[in-house]
Homo-oligomer: A and B are copies of this chain.
Amino acid sequence: MTPTSNNGKTGISIPAATMERLPRYLMQLFRLRRKNCDSVNSQSLGEALGLKDTQIRKDLSYFGVFGKARYGYNVEYLIKAIESILGLTSEYNLAIIGVGNLGKALANYAVQVNSNFVLKLLVDTNPEIIGTTVADLPVRSMDDLPQLLSTQEIHIGIIAVPEKAAVDVANILVEGGVRALYNFSQAELHHIEGVFIENASISYGVYKLAHHLSGSWPRKK
């Protein structure tokens, strides 16, 4: 059976909460692979992620049988399976708009995360930044962006510009055919038909920590 098959469970809708957890499983599996672990059981995987073992088994069971009794899950196989479920079978081309501090950090980070994400384009307006090389890519001018988008397909546009420029940048990307935006600016990007927008929110974590320090944040088991 291929990792993608659903083990005959057609029609069953996967809980959204399960889908949200899959990337976390994947990251932990990558860590295990780096440590040369061949297999992992639901209990230790759960401990690493702060989840109950039954939670993990149930999540994975929605997609078919991946584990073996008395052994657990094969790390490599499970990585392939989850990548397949998440649609990481094909490559995704990334463009980062705004190569300031955050843009640079993201550019360097993007190449590490997963080989399915390929950084293709870095764009800025600042003449001092245009032409420099970041993460082995030249920074291009914002003026050329529409033309660049017509030449190569960009799947995900990462917006790392100041708040007031974000909406304009988003529009240019969408006009150029980009269907998924990852917005790091504080701007509020309104919903655009047919475009998936994900907002990064580094501040939420700080709020959580503050609340923890101030009293008792309700613990998730």
Contacts from A to B (Cβ < 8 Å): 13-16, 19, 22-24, 26-28, 31, 48, 85-90, 92, 94, 100-102, 104-106, 108-110, 112-114, 116-117, 155-156, 179-180, 182, 186, 188, 196, 198, 200-215, 217-218, 220
B218 A19 Cβ-Cβ under 8 A: yes
Known interface pairs A105-B105, A198-B209; A16-B218 also in contact (CB < 8 Å)? yes
Kindly provide the distance from the CB of A98 to the nearest chain B CB, expressed in whole angstroms: 11
Known interface pairs A101-B101, A105-B105, A211-B87; A218-B27 also in contact (CB < 8 Å)? no
- For the complex formed by this chain, how many copies does it contain in all? 2
A203 B113 Cβ-Cβ under 8 A: yes
Given contacts A88-B214, A106-B202, A156-B213, could you give 13 more A-B pairs where the C-beta distance is less than 8 Å? A13-B218, A23-B207, A27-B204, A86-B211, A87-B213, A88-B207, A92-B210, A94-B206, A102-B105, A102-B109, A116-B210, A155-B210, A180-B213
Pairs A–B under 8 Å by Cβ, sample size 12: A19-B211, A23-B204, A28-B188, A85-B211, A86-B207, A88-B207, A92-B210, A101-B102, A116-B210, A156-B210, A180-B212, A198-B208
